[in-house]
Structure 1
Amino acid sequence: MKALVLTGTEQMEIQEIPDQPLKNNEIKIKMKYAGICGTDKHLFKGLPGSAQANPPVILGHENSGVISELGPNVKSGLQVGDRVTIDPNIPCGYCSYCHDNKPQLCENMEAVGVTRDGGMAEYVYVPETNVYKIPDSLSFKEAAMAEPVSCMIHALKQVDIKTHHTVLVVGDGFLGQLYIQYLANRGVKKVDVSNRNSKKIDQLKKLGATNVIHHDEIKEKYDIVIECVGVTKTQERAVSSARRGGQVLMFGVANPDDVIQISSYDIFFNELTIKGAFINPHSMNEAIQLLTNKSLLDIEPLLSHEFTLEEVPDFLAGNINEKITKAVINLEA
């Protein structure tokens, strides 16, 4: 099969990969679409995502496709021809975190497109436990976004957002835009967003942003602050933008070596809650339903660019200078 293989730091090449026999409880999926995530950029640069990727490996953890073959002892009821999306995260099931129903913290986590071959290929091989059937009304392009949407759903479970709260979303990228649209459609009183690009103001307001504020001009304090950038300056700003009793959600993926400086007295005196949110446990079915419903989240207009496998290395290297909200790979192009 044709695949785009990460062969080293900032090195990728198209290769012909031989088919492999299906293992017990494994499913072979003909890929239709794969999303390109900020995590893929980290992995391309040799940094860890949900785990460390060790080349050679095929990236791609936001996937959709059609089941082409079932391995031995598949028990899920899935059939050849079913339209599906994939949860990339494979917890071990036996470590202390898995036993405590915290699979996202698994000590032995594998991940499709990170520690094992993913969806930037004609086919992907996945445990049946990680394959989710999708309705005919959901396009493959949208279904590939079930994983990032499931991450958002899990993250929002870490904070207590009421409709009378004020929310600041720090960052106007794809995930920031998901939060804006979803919370605004949920009827949250105020959903402001901080950004640096004045050209995005109209777009962000159409999604439901109450106010669009430059990063350096935030003066208000908020009940909820959601950090979607993952750099030290915006993380520190997120904490300082929370009002007394406020909650700060750290969602952006930071460089592992980054360290932020925050006032411990402010955390104490203001009774701040600072929560992290890692991957997407128990959230895929909700994500599929949310994508299908569209009343709270209409994702397809945010998918701004389609690439072929051959174009992906240039995109990950930053050589495509276009206004890209979210890029996907059309595996049939």
Structure 2
Amino acid sequence: MKALVMTGKQEMKMEEREIPTPKDNEVLIETAYAGICGTDNALFNGLPGSADAVPPIVLGHENSGVVKAVGKDVTNFKEGDRVSVDPNIYCGKCFYCHIGLFEECDNLSAVGVTRDGGLEQYFTAPDTVVYHIPDSVSLKEACSMEPISCGVHTMHIMDNIQPHMNALIIGDGYMAKIFAQLLRAYGVQDITMTGRHDDLLAQEQKQLNLNHVVNTTKEEIPSNYDIVIEAVGTPETQEAAVKHTNKGAQVMMFGVGAPGQTFSMNTYEIFKKQLTVKGSMINPNSFEDTLALLESGAVDITPFQANVISLDEVEGVLNHTTPKVGKTVVAVNPDLK
């Protein structure tokens, strides 16, 4: 089989490998689609994701495909099942797992980060992180279950979301578009999104039924908000997220900055407004809600999967010799249905 192997920092090589044999508790999956995201770009450049990726490793943590074989202890999957994979595997033994804070697991491993992922024709995963997908959800859609589930986890760790709250999303990338739909699904009625291009913002306002859009290259964010989701990850946008808050607001820092990056906050304002500022790490216990949102149509990502590429094109996307604007998915085997 073909496997696109990250052999070192900013180095990839297409290799011919044997199809892996699933262990007793594992599922062998033929990859249909694999999403490319900012984490893959970080890992390619030698930065950490949810964990460190040590070459040689096959990236690809946003995956969908079809079961080809199962280990002898697997009873809930069979050959031919259509599936998606939650890449994150928790040890269940450390202090953080014992208190239910699985995303902070001391021994976290992940498909496409610490073990080979979907940028190859076949990969394995423990049956505990494999999910059946309904017939109404395509395999192309299903490869985005992981990023959607990260957004769902953010919604899970917010406090008492109410319809009267107004929300600001800073950024208009793929995750920002997902958050716009999640906020609406969770009952928020007034949503504003920021961006840097009038034409894109106008299109996004229509597609996502946004109440307001703001081009931050031309105008100030005009109000304060009860919920602010920062989906960019720069010091400037993180500072703006804290600044544009109502009393009692929640600020969710979802955008991932560089290790060592800092930003400034007015601590008196945090005290005076009684703000809650949180980070959001990966996606524990979020795949079932993600499936429900996709199956119901409350979240629709098909208009935003902008680029479909082959395995041969992945390195060019990651090293920016053939950059793509918008979400990119790799069609490893698009003939799978």
- For Structure 1 versus Structure 2, the TM-score category normalised by the shorter chain is over 0.9
Q: Which residue of 1 aligns with 2:99?
A: 100
Verify the 8 A CA contact 1:60 1:113 in the aligned structure 2. Answer: yes
Aligned counterpart for 2:265 among listed residues 259, 262, 270: 262
Identity %: 44
**Which residue does 2:331 correspond to in 1?**
330
* Alignment match, 1:2: 2
Shift of 1:128: 0.6
Instruction: State which drifts further: 27-36 or 199-208.
Output: 199-208
Which residue of the partner structure matches residue 80 of structure 2? 81
Distance 2:280 2:66 in 1: 30
Residues 185, 22 of structure 1: CA spacing in aligned structure 2 closer, same or farther, 3 A cutoff?
Answer: closer
Q: Which residue of 1 aligns with 2:312?
A: 310
Q: Which amino acid aligns with 1:277?
A: S
Q: How far apart are residue 144 of structure 1 and its match?
A: 0.8
Distance 1:256 1:40 in 2: 15
**Which whole-Å CA distance do the structure 2 matches of 1:186 and 1:276 have between them?**
19
* Structure 2 match to 1:16: 16
The 1-side partners of 2:138 and 2:155 are apart by: 25
Distance in 2 (CA, whole Å) between partners of 1:181 and 1:153 is 11
TM-score (norm. length: structure 1): 0.96
Alignment partner, residue 226 of structure 1: 229
List per-residue Cα deviations over 1:279-330 (Å, max 9, x = no partner): 1111111111211111x111111111100000011111122344x2211010
The whole-number CA distance in structure 2 between the counterparts of 1:23 and 1:181 is 38
CA distance in 2, matches of 1:69, 1:189: 45
Structure 1 runs not aligned, ≥5 long: none
Q: Post-superposition shift, 1:18?
A: 2.3
**Whole-angstrom distance in 2 between the partners of 1:320 and 1:208:** 32
Match of 2:150 in 1: 151
Alignment-derived partner of residue 113 in structure 2:
114
Cα distance in structure 1, aligned partners of 2:244 and 2:48: 29
Counterpart in the other structure of 1:238: 241
* SS of alignment partner, residue 65 of structure 2: strand
Structure 2 Cα separation of the partners of residues 180 and 141 of structure 1? 21
Contact (CA 8 Å) 1:27, 1:69: kept in 2 or not?
yes
1:232 Cα offset (Å):
1.3
What does the per-residue CA deviation read over 1:85-144, in whole Å, with 9 as the maximum and x for residues that have no partner? 001000001001111111111000000000110000000110010110111121000011
SS of residue matched to 1:141: helix
User: Equivalences for 1:132-151 in 2 at 5 Å?
Assistant: 132-151=131-150
Match of 1:212 in 2: 213
Q: Which amino acid aligns with 2:216?
A: H
Instruction: Look up the match of 2:64.
Output: 64
State the distance in 2 between where 1:8 and 1:312 align. Answer: 15
Inter-partner Cα distance in structure 2 for 1:209 and 1:317? 33
Q: Which residue of 1 aligns with 2:177?
A: 177
- Contact 1:185–1:208 (8 Å) recurs in 2: no
Shift of 1:8: 1.2
Contact 1:58/1:119 (8 A) holds in 2: yes
- In structure 2, how many angstroms separate the alpha carbons of the residues matched to 1:63 and 1:242? 36
SS at match of 1:113: coil
Q: Distance in 2 between matches of 1:245 and 1:185?
A: 22
Report the counterpart of residue 127 of structure 1 in structure 2: 126
Please say which of residues 209-218 and 40-49 is displaced more in the overlay.
209-218
Asked whether the equivalents of residues 184 and 209 of structure 1 are also in contact (C-alpha less than 8 Å), the reply is: no
Q: C-alpha separation between the residues in 1 aligned to 2:21 and 2:332?
A: 22
Task: Provide the C-alpha distance between the structure 2 equivalents of 1:319 and 1:42, rounded to a whole number of angstroms.
Answer: 16
Instruction: Give me the whole-angstrom Cα distance separating, in 1, the residues matched to 2:89 and 2:186.
Output: 31
Q: How far apart in 2 are the matches of 1:23 and 1:99?
A: 26
Residue 285 (1) aligns with residue 284 (2): no
User: 1:54 maps to what in 2?
Assistant: 54
Which consecutive unaligned segments of at least 5 residues does structure 2 have? Answer: none
Q: Which structure 1 residue ranges, 4+ long, deviate > 2 Å from structure 2?
A: 18-22, 181-189, 319-322
Q: Counterparts of 1:84 and 1:36 in 2: how far apart (Å)?
A: 18
| Matched positions, count | 330
Q: Residues 321 and 103 from structure 1, CA distance in 2 versus in 1: closer, same or farther, beyond 3 angstroms?
A: closer
Aligned mates of 1:40, 1:187 — CA distance in 2: 32
